[in-house]
Structure 1
Amino acid sequence: MTIATALPRQRRRACDMTAVQDYQYQPLANDGNTRFIQLYPAAHFEDPIRVDIVERAYDASKTQDPASYEALSYAWGSDEDSAYIFVGANSRLRVRHNVIQILRYLRDGITPGCTARTLWIDAICINQADDEEKGKQVTMMGNIYACATSVLIWTGEPGCDLQALQRSFEGQEKEKTLLWIWTPANNEILRLMQFFATGWFTRRWVVQEIMHAREAYIITGSDTMQWQQFRVFVKHLESMFSYEVLTPHVTAILQHLSNLTALKPKI
């Protein structure tokens, strides 16, 4: 997280009183730069999202004033139910519903005393209407993830508490766990496999984003798990299963997870 200049009260009032216009992207001043959002806190979870969009260099080796930021890794989601976020004093930007929800949860996690959270999110920080800019920025994405203080892996809204499942599994002997998992009255494993079979876990670009990360965190709603903890969790899952009794679909998911969690963020 980054401490940034607080959004002045006068500007918040001006945002309500001034005619709000659609946000206009300006060309990047330098090919080595990108945009970042400064996400501001709010009193209530459902309050409108308010951000500033700023242009900065991201690579500390090429500037004396690099941005300190977290980079988001997530599934793009549907164009349906898009909504506006508010940029600066009097601009608005339409973004996808899942990005709105991501920003709400990340905003809710701003450390007390901090005035903003600095993030890189491709859907906002790259002008999606400018194909030339998109082409240049896409070639830089590996470096953008590598220079971030951490990569935040958004898997979705609440629905699968990985930490609770891990504690539950670790508290049982292997034979009892297998019986417990496949008891028809208990659908925890089915819910878990559905969770792993959708969204972020099926994206193509996650390998690049994890391999370049200094540090990575799995985020599901308000819950967070370090990538290293998640790797241990998946290994624990693998050790509990006899692959002979699994369906091909579940086997494929577990093998994909095993390959994915073999990736180690750089130190």
Structure 2
Amino acid sequence: MIPPISCLIIDDEPLAQELLSDHVERIPSLHVIGKAQNSKQALSLCKELQPDMLLLDIRMPGLSGFEFLDLLPQPVPLVVVTTAYREYALKGYEHNVVDFLEKPIFFDRFQKAIQRVEERLGSTRLNSNSKSSQEDSSINLTMKLLSVRVGRDTINILLDSINYVESLDNYVKIHLNSRSSKPVLSKMTVAQLESKLPDDSFIRINRKYIVRIDQCQKITASSILLFSGEELPIGVTFRDAVRQTLL
């Protein structure tokens, strides 16, 4: 069995390190072998541990993340940049990083970045998981589609096409991210639909709304602004769960 991808987290914010560690733990093919809060620590750990990949913040005390990369001996580990500053994206790609993740980093987006790392490392790693992780993959594949009843018909909806779900008493209105697609109305309660959705991709924010996590552009104490422009209220009893997941 091929060992998991070894990962070094480089970030000066303890909370950011903790979030990335939590994301890594959810991916069987990935393993954290060390953490660094600045470039000096990171250089030492890279030489000692020789990680396969780096989760690299850019703004850190002392050397920046890009200055740190310039000091690394070849071959440089694969790099996924993690930063709150979108303006670094172009420079990141100039350094041949695998992906650029803008904080706050949601798990769905993180998972896509790791898939790109796996592709760079070669298909052997993709096919080397244990039976249990292969079962997880099949579950993920089936969960990409949501089957719902519309009148007498059953239709399949791509999970990635959903912006948010709205409760209308004994019906749900599924709002899609394509302007040319009308919302889908299905007879079921919002609780019934919630049980069909993967909890790492969707979150209930009040009694009426479920949103897709990677559609959240801005989170305040009382509302969530989606990339589509809708602003939805966060229910008082849901605030702790929302903050835990999204902040």
Q: TM-score, normalised by structure 2?
A: 0.30
Of Structure 1 and Structure 2, the greater strand share is in: 2
Greater relative contact order (Cα < 8 A, sep 6+):
1
Of Structure 1 and Structure 2, the greater helix share is in: 1
Q: TM-score, normalised by structure 1?
A: 0.28
